[in-house]
Amino acid sequence: MTPARPADKHSFPTPPSRVEEGVGTGTARLAILLSGRGSNMVALVQAAQTGALQGLAEVAVVFSNRPDAPGLATAAALGCATASLPSQGRPRAAFDAEAAALLQRYQPDYIVLAGYMRILSPAFIQPFAGCILNIHPADTRAHQGLHAYEWAFDNMLPETKITVHLVDEGLDTGPILAQQTVDLRGADSLAEVERRGLAVEHELYARALAALIKKTKGGHAEQREASRPLTNSDI
């Protein structure tokens, strides 16, 4: 998975998106962003290699705001190009603008957040508007932000919902692409809640992304159509 040739180091023009142009050939290029161990990244890479994303997507780069993130070494071992840029101590907008410029060099069609522990500013969102996906371990209409599994466990919920959504400039407010229920009955520890939730996350994210790519390549590139929540028949 060789990255596209970088642009001149002083110029990072936004590349055209082959998916948005409706070109029916080739694969969608993914930039996967993480801050930690990257279990969702692993699931997505494996899906691109042998699973639901095979023939539909390739991983252009795995990026982290933490150069020491364990997920970078894991991604490299899986054959992925990796990149990092330390965010600690940086003003949010300045870091996000630099990170966006770096990622544009890999010509991604989609930015896929996989445990990327930052709230994105407009400086990052605007260059990739409509092409940033996130997975959230709750129904985004019921709980936004961090600690969603803790929220479900503390409130003894009998079930929760994993949500895949597009990212806008709000906190977990973007259009919902897909959801799947997680049965939490009998889960007597936070670790068990997380185990059940992650099992759904790892499967749903790839299926939802595959469905979105297929729909876009099929001539539904308009944002309003791409943002329609996917049904069970779609994924």
Q: Of residues 136, 143, 165, 202, which has the active-site annotation?
A: 136
CB 133 within 8 A of CB 167: yes
The answer to whether residue 202 is catalytic is no
β-bridge pairing 132-136 and 159-166: antiparallel
Strands 28-34, 57-64: pairing is parallel
Distance CA 26, CA 60 (A): 13
Distance CA 201, CA 64 (A): 20
Integer Cα distance of 109 and 148 in angstroms: 28
Question: Which residues are part of the catalytic machinery?
Answer: 136
